[in-house]
Amino acid sequence: MAVQAFTSSRVVLPGKIGAFAVLVEGQRIVEVVPRNQIPRSVPITDFGDLAILPGLVDSHIHINEPGRTEWEGFRMATRAAAAGGYTMLVDMPLNCVPATTSPEALAVKRKAAQGQCHVDWAAWAGLVPENLEQIIPLASACVSGFKCFLIHPGIDEFTMVNEDHLRAALPNLKKTGLPLLAHAELPGPIDSATEAWMQADWRVYKTYLNSRPDEAELSAVELLIGLCEESGCQIHVVHLSTSKALARLRDAKRRGLPITVETCPHYLHLCSEEISNGATLHKCAPPIRSRENCEALWQGLREGIIDLVATDHSPCPPAMKQMERGDFRSAWGGIPSVSLALSLMWTEASRRGFSLVDIARWMAEGPAQLAGLEERKGRLAAGFDSDMVVFDPEAEWTVTPAELHYRHAISPYLGERLTGKVLMTFLGGECVYKQGSFPGELRGRECTRKTFATHPN
């Protein structure tokens, strides 16, 4: 297969950005060279002053298939991902039916994904009290790791774990070498706060915020740090919302514990002071907190306490958001954002002095590492998949329903003016998104850790 060069004046490599060329042969990058050293006779695609980033990796997305394609399935989720510059998604084990808590359920998911994917994907397995025996079989079936909830997850097909369950599970998890991802909120503080605010007006965002206090996250993070220390397992805190946990996490990392942390674009872009009454599109758990908290999360990213940014893209049919009632207690919690995440992040990051190198670390390299794909995804380097996103960092645009590309075009970001726009996305050297269209075949495959086996479509 012939080598071709993709080049621009702003190619984003680990630690630097500049005039380079990515030499691609089919699905692999063969070399990255300075722009003036492209071998003769190699055909060149020159993107001028646009940025070329590695295809983004979303390590936290809810695809909902099989079982809940009316919420969203592989086809629409991966389409929106391609439009957002993502080339690799790691699917959460819940909201689909069956939940991904056994090898059989994983097989059903694999079947459902066949021929449906615009970009590559992999699966997290669920860890629930009923499936502690399935940890090793699921690891053998090549899941990326395990996800658990320390609080009720909002649906009935997936159960929460407590400290005892985790103590029982961690020795087997240790054997697998896979990370444990945890939704870090404990029920105690939330139950008592909810009780205390029961009679308040639940159309008011502050009521919902009060019902999920920082303390719930903080105590869960403390528990996880303790279990991490005890077991030596890699533990990953998903969607950290409270900045109050950063000091504890900083300390745990300084002590060398294998704990990693993610946050999401909504915690870095939105703040509670600006959420109107009844605006249930903003409901997620843990909740969006104050402006001051948001700024402190940015500081956590700057310091490297927060390792990565994932979307927690979690769509549902519009009716479940109960927008007419505007009741924050009963509305579904979840914010879809996979098609917007890069622009949301760049809008905020660029005005705080961060560069696209930081963005690539948070949104491609970091998530790839978490999912065990660090030798194949998340970087523009020799031997990696030729997954790229062409991004105009200066473009200013307004979010409309037509730009969302996921199944139900609802979003708390509609009407917002953002900086930076995805123009094209390449998967394995082939264009899968180009300014609103999705050319070519559905070429996305499952891409698993360890063996990097690609399951045939």
> Which positions lie near Zn ion, rule CB under 5 A?
312
CB of 446 to Zn ion, least distance (A): 20
Query: Please, which residue, 93 or 393, has the CB nearer to Zn ion?
Result: 93
DSSP 31-73: EEEEGGGPPTT--EEE-TTSEEEEPEEEEEE---TTT-TTT--
Q: How far apart are CA 266 and CA 274, in angstroms?
A: 12
* 88 three-class SS: strand
Is cis: bond before 54, omega within 30 of 0?
A: no
Location of structure tokens 């990058």: 29
DSSP 251-306: HHHHTT--EEEEE-HHHHH--GGGPPTT-GGG--SSPP--HHHHHHHHHHHHHTSS
Q: How far apart are CA 424 and CA 439, in angstroms?
A: 10
SS3 content of the chain, % helix, strand, coil (to 5): 35, 25, 45
What does the block give as tokens for 21? 């060329």
Mark residue 360 as left, alpha or beta (left: phi above 0; alpha: psi -120 to 50; beta: remaining).
Answer: alpha
Sheet containing 56-61: give its strands across.
56-61, 86-91, 120-123
Q: How far apart are CA 428 and CA 45, in angstroms?
A: 15
CB of 313 to Zn ion, least distance (A): 8
Query: Please, what is the end-to-end C-alpha distance for the chain in angstroms?
Result: 22
Count of beta carbons in the 10 Å neighbourhood of residue 255: 11
CB of 266 to Zn ion, least distance (A): 12
What does the block give as tokens for 15? 């630690």
Query: Please, which residue, 268 or 432, has the CB nearer to Zn ion?
Result: 268
Query: Please, which residue, 289 or 313, has the CB nearer to Zn ion?
Result: 313
CB of 312 to Zn ion, least distance (A): 4
Query: Please, which residue, 58 or 312, has the CB nearer to Zn ion?
Result: 312
Q: How far apart are CA 202 and CA 211, in angstroms?
A: 10
Q: How far apart are CA 23 and CA 162, in angstroms?
A: 49
* β pairing state of 146-149 and 180-183: parallel
Q: How far is residue 233 from each of residues 103, 134, 185, 228, 301, measured CA to CA in Å?
A: 22, 17, 19, 6, 23
CB of 272 to Zn ion, least distance (A): 20
Location of structure tokens 């109960």: 322
CB 150 within 8 A of CB 184: yes
Query: Please, which residue, 5 or 268, has the CB nearer to Zn ion?
Result: 268
CB of 6 to Zn ion, least distance (A): 33
Chain residue whose CB lies nearest Zn ion: 312
CB of 144 to Zn ion, least distance (A): 15
